[in-house]
Structure 1
Amino acid sequence: MSAGMAGREAPLSRWTLLAFAFPAAPISAMGLPLVVHLPPFYAGSLGLGLTVVGAIFMLARFWDVITDPVLGVVSDRFETRWGRRRHWIVLSVPIMMLSVYMIFMPQGPVTAGYLVFWLFVLYVGWTLLTISHISWGAELTPDYHDRSRVQGARELLLIIGMVCVLALPAVIELANPENLAAARVASMGWFVLILLPISVAVAVWKVPERKAPRPEHVPFGQAVKVLIENRPLRFVLLADLISGVSGGIVASLFLFLAEDVLRLGKFSSALLLCYFISGVMFIPLVLWISRRFGKHRTAAGSALFNAITVPLILLIPAGHPELALGAFLLFGVNMAAGPFLFRSIMADVADHDSVQTKQTRTGLFFAMLTSTNKVGAAVAIGLSYMMLDVVGFVPGGENSAAALDGLRAVYVWPATIISAAVALILWRFPLDEAQQKANREILDRRMLDAAAAAVETRTLHPGDAQSSGAPAD
C-alpha cells in the first residue's frame, strides 16, 4: 500500500449517503420553525411581544456559543465501540424529544421564563445532535470532492425536511382548527417527534464510522496558538459569522415580509415551499460547479449571486404572488450552495489542522462553525426585531407605508452588503484542492507508518500483544 491510497478510496454509495443524511430531515424540520415560525408565534399569538421574544431567541443562540465548543471537544475525546460520534447522536434524541414537545406544544401558562428554560434545553440537544452528525460526515471520506457529495446529501435531506414541514400548514388549514397558529406549530413538532428516532436508528444501524487514529497529546498553549494562527480557519469562520447575520435577518423576517408587506396571505407558505424545492433541484448543478472551479470559489460566487438578486424584493408590488414566486424561485437556485460548501470546506480545514498539530479536532472545528453561524443568527433576530419596533412595524396590524418600507429595507440591504463581503472573503480563501491533496498525503503516510509500527511491535513482542488482548501474528 502506498501513501495516499487511503485518500483514493472508492466513492461512498448513494444508499450510504442517504442513510447517513436521513437525520438531517428532522433537524431541519425543527430548525426552520425555530427561525421562521416560533418567534412570531410566541411574540404574537402567545403575547410575549417582539422585543422580548427577539431578546430570548438571541440569548438562546449565545448560550450555544458556550455549549458548542464544549460539546465539540467532548465529541472528539470520548470514544466507544460505536466510534466517536454515533453514541452522542443517540443520546441527543430523548433530550430533543422532550424539549420539542414543550416548545412546539407549550404546556400551561407561557411566560418568558418558560420559553427561556425549554429553549435552552432544546439547544443543548440540538447542538449535541448537529455537531456529532456534521463531524461524522466530515470523517466518512478523506476525498476533496467526495466530501462535497456527503454534505450535499445532507443538505438535500435538510431541504426535504424543510419542504415537508412547510407543507404541513396547508394540510392543517384544510382541517380548519379553532387555533390555527397553534395547530400549525404543533404539527411541525409532531413531525420531528415521529421522524427523529426513526432516522437516527437508520443512520446508526446502516452507516459505520471510518477509523481514525487517536490524537497525540499536544500542550494546551501550543494547541490554542496553532488554532489562532490557522489562516484558513479564520477565513471560513469570519465568512460563516457574517453569513449567519444575513441569513438570520432574511429568515426571521420572511413571514412579516410575505404577509404584511407583499400581502400574499395563504400563498406565504407555498412561496417558501417553492423556494426550497428550487434549492433541491439545483444541488447537482452546484456540485458540478464546485468540482470544476473548486469549493471556495463556488461559495464566493454563491454569495455574489445573493448580493445581486436579493434587492429584487424592492421591486415586487403588494398583492402579486406570481412576481414573488418568480423572485423566490430565482433565490432558491442558490439557496443550498453556501451551507453545504462551508461544511465541506471546514472538513478540509480540519485536515490542515491535523497536519500541523497531529490532533483530530473535527468536532471542535464544526462546533466553532455552528457557533459562528448561530451567533450571526442570534444577532440578526435580536437586532431585526428591535429595528422593526423602531420603524413602528406591528405584526398583523395596520402599518404605515413608511413602516412597510422600513421592513423591506431591513430585509434587503444588510443581506446584500454582507453577501458581497462574504464573496470577497471566500475568493481569497487560501486552501484549495491541491493543498488538500498534499495534506491527505501527509495524513495517510502517518496512518501507514502507525500501522507498520503496530505490526512490528506485535511481531517483536508477541507475548505483550497477547497479554493486551490483541491477536499475535
Structure 2
Amino acid sequence: MSAVAASLRAGGAARLPAWSGFAAVLAAAGLPIYIHAPKFYVDSYGVGLGALGLVLFGLRLLDVVQDPALGWLAERAGRARGASIWAAVAVMAAAMLGLFAVVPPVAPLAWFALCLAALFSAFSYLTISFYAAGVGKASALPGGHLQLAAWRETGALLGVSLAALAPVVFAALTGRPFAAFALAFAAAALFVAWAMRGEWRGMGNAAAPGALRAILADATLRRLLWVALANATPVAVTSTLFLFYVESRLAAPGWEGPLLLLFFLAAAAAAPGWAWLAQVFGARRVLLAGMVLSILAFLGAATLGPGDVALFALVCLASGAALGADMTLLPALFAGRLARIAPRGGQGFGLWSFVTKFTLALAAVTLLPLLEAAGFRAGVENGETALAALTLLYALVPCALKLLAIGLLLATPLGEEDD
C-alpha cells in the first residue's frame, strides 16, 4: 500500500506545472483587466471614465453576489464537470477576444459591460472550481496544501505580471497590441484547459447535503473568512489608489507600470520561499511575519514624497514579497480546514471568492469619494491637504487593517492546518 501511495503522490506532483499554468491564465483575466480595459475603451472609443466606473462597480457587485451560487453550481456539476470547465474556458476566451479584438457591434459601453460580465462570470466559475479541486489534489502531494499553494500562487502572480506587461511588448510588434494580447490569452486558455484534463476529479461527483451549513457552523472556517476579509481589504485599498499615489504623491507619472510589475514579480519570487518556511516553522507563524512585513513597508510609503521613486521601489519589493505570503498561506490554511469539514470545496471557495471580491467593491465605493471630498483631483497639481489624504488612505489605512487581520488570525483556533 505504501508503494501505491508513493506512486500516486509522485504522479500528483508531476502535474503541478499544469496547475501553475492554469492559475497564471486565470490571474491574467483578473486584476490586469481592470487596469487595461478602461483605458483601452477611453482611448479607442471615447467612452467616459465616469460611465466606465459605474459599469465596473456594477459588475463587481454582480461578481460578489453570484460567487456563492457559482460555488453551489460547481459542486453539483458531477460527471459534467469536465464539460462545464471547457465551456467556461471557451466563454472566457471569447469574452476576452470580444473585449479587445472585436470592434463593438453595439454601443461601446454596452459591449464593454456585456464582455466583462461574461468574462468575469466564467472567470469566477473556473476560479472556484480550480481551488475546490485543489482540496482533493493536495492529499496526493507529499507537501500537502502548502506545496500546491506554492505552485498555484506563483503561477498566478506570474500571470498577473505577464498580463500587465504583454500589451507593452505587443505594442512594439503590432499596431493592435490589445488584440494580440487577447489572441495570446485565448490560445493560452485553451492550452492550459487541455493540460488540466483529468485534474477535476478532486471535487467528487456529487455535492454533500448541508455543506454550506457545515462550513458556516465551523468556528475555524468562519474565523478564517473574517481573516480573509480583513487581510484582503488592504490589497484592495492599495490597488485602487496605486496609480494616483505614484502620479501625484511621488510626482512620477510613467513609472506606474514598472513599479506595478516589480510588485507582482516580488510576490511571485517570494511565494515558494514562504511555503518552504511554513513547512518548517508553521503556516500561522510565517503568515504573521508576512503581515508584519507588509505593515513595515506601508509605514515606509507614508514617509515618501516627490521624486522618491527608488525608495518606493523598495516598498514595492517588500510589500510584494508580503503579498506572496498572503496569497500562498492563507488559502492553504483555509483549504486544509475545508478538506476536513466539506471536502468537495466548491461552496467553501464560493464564500472565499465572495469575501475577497467584496473588498474590491468596498474599496471602489468608499475610497474614491473620500479622496474626492478631500479635494484630490487626478491629473492635476494637488494641495498638501489632498496629498495628505491620499497618503493616509494609501499607506496608513492598510496598516490599520493589517493589524486587525493579525489580531483575528491570532484568535483563530488552528490545529493540524497550522502544521
What's the TM-score bracket when you normalise by the shorter of the two chains?
Answer: 0.7 to 0.9
Which secondary structure does the structure 1 equivalent of 2:30 belong to?
A: helix
User: Match of 1:431, SS?
Assistant: coil
User: What amino acid is the match of 2:185?
Assistant: V
Instruction: Specify which of 215, 225, 231 is matched with residue 243 of structure 1.
Output: 231
Deviations 1:396-452 (A, max 9, x none): 23433333332222211221111111111112221222x789xxxxxxxxxxxxxxx
The CA deviation at 1:32 is 2.4
Which residue number in structure 2 is paired with residue 195 of structure 1?
188
CA contact (8 A) 2:283 2:333 kept: yes
Question: Structure 1 residue 345: deviation in Å?
Answer: 1.6
SS in 2 for 1:429: coil
Q: What residue is the counterpart of 1:419 in the other structure?
A: 402
Change in CA separation of 1:198 and 1:144 when aligned onto 2, cut-off 3 Å: closer
Q: Select 2:369's aligned residue among 380, 383, 386.
A: 386
Are 1:328 and 2:316 counterparts? yes
Equivalent residue number for residue 166 of structure 2 = 168
Output the CA distance in 2 between the equivalents of 1:77 and 1:380.
33
- Would the alpha carbon gap of residues 40 and 285 (structure 1) be closer, same or farther in structure 2, given more than 3 Å must change? same
Classify 1:298/1:87 alpha carbon distance in 2 versus 1 (closer, same or farther; 3 Å): farther
CA offset at residue 313 of structure 1?
Answer: 1.4
Deviation at 1:113, TM superposition (A): 4.1
Identical columns (%): 22
Counterpart residue identity of residue 75, structure 2: D
Distance 1:335 1:294 in 2: 18
2:197 aligned counterpart, secondary structure: helix
Counterpart in the other structure of 2:82: 86
Which deviates more, 96-105 or 278-287?
96-105
Q: SS of the residue aligned with 2:377? A: coil
Give CA-to-partner distance per residue, 1:232-267, whole Å, 9 cap, x none: 111111111233322112112222222333233333
Q: Does structure 1 residue 428 correspond to structure 2 residue 411? A: yes
Give the length in aligned residue pairs.
Answer: 415
The match for 2:146 is 148
After alignment, is 397-406 or 128-137 more displaced? Answer: 397-406
2:353 maps to what in 1? 370
Counterparts of 1:82-121 in structure 2 under 5 Å? 85-105=81-101, 107=104, 112-121=109-118
Q: Could you list the runs of 5+ residues in structure 2 that have no partner in the other structure?
A: none
Letter in 1 for 2:350: A
Counterpart contact for 1:36–1:251, Cα < 8 Å: no
Task: Tell whether the 8 Å contact from 2:300 to 2:315 is kept in structure 1 after alignment.
Answer: yes
TM-score relative to the length of structure 1: 0.78
Q: How far apart are 1:341 and its partner, in Å?
A: 1.7
Q: Is the 8 A contact 1:279 1:334 kept in 2?
A: yes
- Name the counterpart of 2:214: 226
- Measured after TM superposition, the shift of residue 194 of structure 1 is 2.7
Give distance in 1, aligned partners of 2:53 and 2:108. 14
1:343 matched to 2:331? The reply is: yes
Tell me, yes or no, if the aligned pair for 2:136 and 2:339 is still in contact at 8 Å. no
Alpha carbon RMSD of aligned pairs, Å? Answer: 3.1
Would you say the 8 A contact 2:132–2:203 is kept in 1? no
1:269 aligns with 2:257: yes
TM-score, with normalisation over the residues of structure 2?
Answer: 0.87
| Cα distance in 1, alignment partners of residues 362 and 191 from structure 2 | 34
The DSSP-based 3-state class of the residue aligned with 1:94 is helix
Do 2:133 and 2:201's aligned partners in 1 also have CA atoms closer than 8 Å?
yes
Secondary structure of 2:317's partner?
helix
CA contact (8 A) 2:132 2:344 kept: no
Aligned amino acid, residue 341 of structure 2 = D
Structure 1 gap ranges (5+): 178-182, 355-359, 438-473
CA distance in 2, matches of 1:165, 1:436: 33
CA distance in 1, matches of 2:192, 2:10: 23
Cα deviation digits, residues 74-104 of structure 1 (max 9, x gap): 2112222xxx753332111121122223334
Please give the alpha-carbon distance, in whole angstroms, between the structure 1 residues aligned to 2:100 and 2:206: 41
